[in-house]
Chains A and B, each alone.
Chain A
């Protein structure tokens, strides 16, 4: 069975030119050089097309000659045992609320999407800001020593509140460092780490992006992978909130579902490939159910189906 060229990530423009010229499957491009590819394209473009097609169809030959172990695996696959070891080495982001941490199994997990939903005003932004501070807790205190990205769609990110929370965290860490339960070597390491864990440093490690509509949010999701390459210490992305710009002005519900699914997939890709935690804040909407009990109840908005854990926040 031959693989159709339309299944490769080529732009529709190239696909059209290729099909007019008579190339329909990957086999057709097997022995063609960029010059022979008579498509009125620049040579670099032709080279790129051929490389896209060939690189995915001929990986085995190179791996067979090079390493014996890599040819045993389907390219890109990981063993379940290795995944287990990898998960055990990840940390999680503590929230300083014991109950919440217990619930989440130690804190917000790295490599997954966690969704917090609740009615407006319940405190989701506070959780988001708390997490952005907590991700920066130094290793010596059991934290991740990472940086945070905060994507603000509602305009609810207020710097003064961040200062308050950061100050409280610093105070809490100092208290821990000076407590009588730990031994001397640890105490000295922790006091050393406290030097860097101060309010100004904390603020400087939170990268805030402000999005005014859903197009900006989607554009940002395409740009973030490059940003993450430059800032490899980022361990948390908070999106506050994902629902806001999608709820209004959307006549085409099918389009909305498609865009949201695409957005969720880009976030989960970032979470898995860069080993960071993604936290989404969502609003609640009312579902009026006439069949069962006749009572309406609150459900998370937008019907997102890709998060790993979902927490309802109630008073």
Chain B
């Protein structure tokens, strides 16, 4: 059990405001926004933009509110990212951060005529590389290879959470990575198969209560879905009860101009509002 000092506890409780909804567009439909302790689930087929959205949210978090005279609209919080299937691409995150800086420069200079791809930094922003590296130091990445290692890793991360109260988001991409391996080694015994998963979920639930972090988990679609077989829920019941908000990602396929449109829909919410976005080189761009 990790021990947190009173000072750290106060910092943590006082920092609720810092989260500021995580993202205004994506979570616009949620009354009162995303608060610490909430659990979100992102699910969808491959290539539907889940990992890209996670990178977008990471960028929202690790950037500061402003840098020099640029408005970056970040939240300056730390993020822990648990990567179970090697999906995380750090270089893509760096590209997204660079684009945000460039856009902020353009806004600051009111220069809308600059070519989008031109990375021409005025002299006073020459140390942008160091700045990006400093932002990256607010991100912690762990790779896991099987469900027992995931359990042990999650338990050991408690020390990190206690020592750094600035950590506000805990992301796991993805929760379904060990499904087939666990299913085979348990020989179709559902309780054995889900045993590790249940333990992991209970530890994570404790983290959300105790350390006030937002938990985001992604779920891949492992089964071909058709009209006859609706989407199967294959994660354990405990996780399903824990989730506050579920988001379903899909590729719409409609093409506006030359770009593909993606959509994310919050399932089980009144209204079922669909948010659409492009994925460009600069990251996610919401359609208004």
Q: Does B10 contact A (CB under 8 A)?
A: no
| Closest residue on chain A to residue B143 by CB atoms | A1
A76 to B102, CA, bound (A): 51
A16 to B184, CA, bound (A): 10
Contact A19 B145 (CB under 8 A): no
| Closest residue on chain B to residue A20 by CB atoms | B187
How many residues of B are counted as interface, with CB atoms below 8 angstroms from the partner's CB atoms? 6
Which chain A residues lie closer than 8 Å to B146 at the CB level?
4
Residue of A1, A2, A4, A16 touching B181 (CB-CB under 8 A): A4
Which chain B residues lie closer than 8 Å to A6 at the CB level?
181, 184-185
Contact B185 A24 (CB under 8 A): yes
**CB of B150 to closest CB in A, whole Å:** 13
Contact B185 A1 (CB under 8 A): no
**Number of residue pairs spanning A and B whose beta carbons lie under 8 angstroms apart:** 12
Contact A16 B187 (CB under 8 A): yes
Which chain A residues lie closer than 8 Å to B184 at the CB level?
6
Which chain B residues lie closer than 8 Å to A19 at the CB level?
185, 187
How many residues of A are counted as interface, with CB atoms below 8 angstroms from the partner's CB atoms? 7
A35 to B145, CA, bound (A): 31
**CB of A202 to closest CB in B, whole Å:** 52
Q: Which residues between 132 and 174 of chain B lie within 8 Å of chain A, taking CB atoms?
A: 145-146
A24 to B184, CA, bound (A): 12
Q: Which residues between 167 and 226 of chain B lie within 8 Å of chain A, taking CB atoms?
A: 181, 184-185, 187
A16 to B185, CA, bound (A): 8
Please classify the interface of chain A as helix (H, G, I), strand (E, B), loop, or mixed, using the class held by over half of its residues.
Answer: mixed
Which chain A residues lie closer than 8 Å to B145 at the CB level?
1-2
Which chain B residues lie closer than 8 Å to A2 at the CB level?
145
| Closest residue on chain B to residue A19 by CB atoms | B185
A21 to B114, CA, bound (A): 67
A24 to B182, CA, bound (A): 11
**CB of A278 to closest CB in B, whole Å:** 34
A297 to B103, CA, bound (A): 55
A99 to B146, CA, bound (A): 57
A19 to B186, CA, bound (A): 8
A2 to B148, CA, bound (A): 12
A6 to B183, CA, bound (A): 12
**CB of A58 to closest CB in B, whole Å:** 21
Which chain B residues lie closer than 8 Å to A16 at the CB level?
187
Which chain B residues lie closer than 8 Å to A24 at the CB level?
185
A293 to B184, CA, bound (A): 47
A2 to B146, CA, bound (A): 9
A2 to B145, CA, bound (A): 9
**CB of B192 to closest CB in A, whole Å:** 9
| Closest residue on chain B to residue A6 by CB atoms | B184
Which chain A residues lie closer than 8 Å to B187 at the CB level?
16, 19
**CB of A4 to closest CB in B, whole Å:** 7
Which chain B residues lie closer than 8 Å to A1 at the CB level?
145
**CB of A8 to closest CB in B, whole Å:** 13
**CB of A29 to closest CB in B, whole Å:** 15
B-side interface residues toward A, CB under 8 Å?
Answer: 145-146, 181, 184-185, 187
The 4 closest A-B pairs by CB, nearest first: A1-B145, A19-B185, A16-B187, A6-B184
8 A–B contacts from the bound complex (CB under 8 Å): A4-B146, A4-B181, A4-B185, A6-B181, A6-B184, A6-B185, A19-B185, A24-B185
Besides the known contacts A1-B145, A24-B185, 10 further A-B residue pairs in the complex with CB atoms under 8 A apart: A2-B145, A4-B146, A4-B181, A4-B185, A6-B181, A6-B184, A6-B185, A16-B187, A19-B185, A19-B187
